[in-house]
Amino acid sequence: MAALEHVSSTSRFAARPSLLVHALRAVSNIYRAFRNRREFYRLGEFSDAQLADIGLTRADLYVAVGNAFAVDPTVTLGAIVRRRAEDDIAGARKVC
């Protein structure tokens, strides 16, 4: 019974992150998106052959840059590359 008494005596606020934690996470996410967007723009300097080596096309960059400014474009690029890889694997399975 002691375990049940301990659980019921904890504060309901102890389990929830505070408003400050939420605010810090939001600022951190925006900073990460800004930093990744800056690195993303460097991909525009790559040649088409270099982009192809990492599984991207110039069109993929245009799709990813169309997101809102606070959205991390590298997440969009990652999703594009994963979807393309899954399609390639699915196509290879159909051939066999």
Question: 53-86, pLDDT tens digit by residue?
Answer: 988 899 999 988 887 776 788 888 989 989 988 8
Question: Which DSSP state fits 96?
Answer: -
pTM for the full model? 0.59
Asked if 80 and 56 count as a contact pair (C-beta separation under 8 A), the reply is yes
Separation CA 65–CA 59 (nearest Å): 10
Domain boundaries, the chain: 17-95
Quickly list DSSP for 32-94: HHHHHHHHHHHHTTS-HHHHHHTT--HHHHHHHHTS-TTS-HHHHHHHHHHHHHHHHHHHHHH
Question: In the prediction, which pLDDT does 55 show?
Answer: 84
